[in-house]
Structure formats: C-alpha cells, structure tokens
C-alpha cells in the first residue's frame, strides 16, 4: 500500500511521531536518507478497542492478499485525546507514489466498515531523515520519546544539534536518537524532531548524563553555555510525546 492507498485510508479514517517514530521501529536506516510518511489518527473517546480491532482485521486481510507494504503503528501515551500514529519509510518519492497495490483495494471495505466510524480526525505529514545527526545502529524499540522543535534560526539550530550528536558519539559510542527534517506541514507543525528509542518502560529508568552535563564535561562550561544559549535562541517552540509501539497493529519484519 503506497501513497494513494495510504491517503485513501487516512482520508477515509479522517496513524505521528513518534515520529514521530517515534518513532519508531521504522526509524532512520544508518547513513541512508529516507522519507518518513506519518499519519496521526485521533480516535473517538471510548472507541480505542474498536479502532484497534479494525486495524487488526485490515492487517489480516492485507497480508492474506500478499500485500508487501510495511508500516508501524504507535499509541501516544501523553497529551490531549486518544492518538495513534502510523509510520512508514521509503528511499524515494517515486516509491511513495507507486499506487499499484491490489491487496489494499481488496481490503478497503474493512476500512469503511470497521475503522472509519471510530476516527475523529487525521493529520498527514512527511519528513526526511538526517543521518549525520542520527544513530548508526538500530536497537530493539518498544517505547520512544519524540521531541519536536519549531525553529526560527535553522543554521544555529543545526550547528548545535551537530555538536551535541558528535559529543554523544564520542562519549557513548553512538548518537542517542534519530533526527528528521519536516517536509512541509501546517503552520503549527514542527520543523525538526528527534526520536529517542528505548527497549521498554524499564529502560526509561536507566540513569544517563543529561545532555548539557555531557557537553560541559566534554567542551568546558563556557563553550557549553554558549551552545546552550544559541540553540535556545533558535527555537520558537518545542514539545515532547511518548509513544508505545503496537506490535499487533504493525507489519514491519525488521526489528
């Protein structure tokens, strides 16, 4: 199921970040730019089980009809409303635009009958991975923090993000997250976001140095303070959401 099939479901259902991700088990592949497609579903209050059952039924139908598209589904755990996010990745826009997917067409009635009635609204977005700032190794991912940034000065923001990523690489052997640059979006959308993966909830309790403590230890307080002031001055707004990977609603053989 490619872009038109995704949009048919999205519009019919009227699936971030996380990644939004989150987010996300379909996160940045090492050193290769990817286009991330994200659909966020706001589900009607009290309709979460019906929505999930509808996605499961559609997934069974899609796989029985030998559908080849892969995706990840995430459930947002904080913030307003009941929100799910569907993410997928492609190396090119041409592949996203490939509309030939018979399996999706055979399963569309399930969307109409079992998914649409439970969805309040949807929002679609695209983003491009930033390999230079991102983790070079994949990790088992059950939970992701997705930090979003609305930026006023992209040059200053990117300069500091690169410096932070380089320090993380030096100190810990790899960067901590997967960075994305948004491709368009609404006036309220983020310009950049970073997906930080965790194996499970317990991994959130593991203590690690805060970013600016790490920066200060590595480059000294004066330089660290300059970097901190520069990135703060470049950001117009920021927010964070926590997402849980929904294994039974996803189809992504690469874990």
User: pLDDT, tens digit, for every residue of 147-201?
Assistant: 999 999 999 999 999 999 999 999 999 999 999 999 988 788 899 999 999 999 9
CB contact burial 91-108 (16+ within 10 A = b; e otherwise):
eeeeebeeeebebbeebe
Write down the pTM of the prediction: 0.85
Q: Which fold has domain 1-250?
A: Alpha-Beta Plaits (3.30.70)
Select from 171, 169, 183, 58 the least CA-distant residue to 113. Answer: 58
List % helix, strand, coil for the chain (3-state, nearest 5): 40, 25, 35
Does residue 67 or residue 60 have the better pLDDT? 60
Answer yes or no: are the C-beta atoms of 134 and 161 closer than 8 Å: no
For residue 195, list its beta bridge partners: 146, 178
Sign of CA dihedral 166, 172, 178, 182: negative
Q: State both tokens at 212.
A: 């600016």
Region 133-159: mean pLDDT is: 92
Query: Of 55-69, 82-96, 168-182, where does mean pLDDT reach its minimum?
Result: 82-96
Q: State both tokens at 144.
A: 């992701």
Q: How many CB atoms lie within 10 A of CB 176?
A: 19
For residue 81, list its beta bridge partners: none
Query: Of 176-190, 211-225, 237-251, where does mean pLDDT reach its minimum?
Result: 176-190
């Amino acid at each position: 199921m490619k872009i038109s099939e995704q949009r048919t479901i999205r519009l019919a259902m009227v699936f971030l970040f996380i990644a939004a991700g989150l987010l996300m088990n379909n996160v940045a592949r090492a050193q290769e730019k990817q286009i991330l497609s994200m659909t966020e579903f706001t589900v009607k209050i009290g309709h979460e089980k019906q929505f999930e059952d509808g996605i499961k039924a559609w997934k069974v139908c899609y796989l029985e009809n030998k559908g080849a598209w892969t995706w990840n589904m995430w459930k947002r755990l904080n913030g307003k409303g009941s929100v799910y996010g569907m993410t997928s990745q492609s190396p090119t826009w041409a592949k996203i635009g490939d509309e030939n997917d018979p399996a999706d067409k055979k399963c569309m009635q399930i969307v109409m009958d079992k998914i649409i009635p439970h969805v309040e609204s949807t929002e679609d977005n695209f983003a491009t991975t930033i390999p230079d700032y991102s983790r070079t190794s994949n990790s088992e991912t059950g939970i992701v923090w997705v930090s979003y940034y609305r930026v006023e000065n992209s040059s200053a923001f990117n300069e500091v993000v690169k410096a932070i990523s380089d320090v993380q690489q030096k100190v810990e052997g790899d960067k901590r997250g997967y960075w994305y640059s948004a491709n368009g979006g609404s006036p309220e959308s983020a310009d950049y976001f970073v997906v930080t993966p965790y194996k499970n909830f317990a991994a959130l309790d593991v203590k690690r140095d805060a970013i600016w403590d790490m920066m200060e230890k590595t480059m000294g307080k004066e330089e660290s303070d300059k970097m901190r002031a520069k990135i703060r001055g470049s950001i117009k707004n920021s927010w964070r959401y926590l997402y849980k990977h929904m294994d039974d609603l996803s189809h992504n053989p690469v874990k």
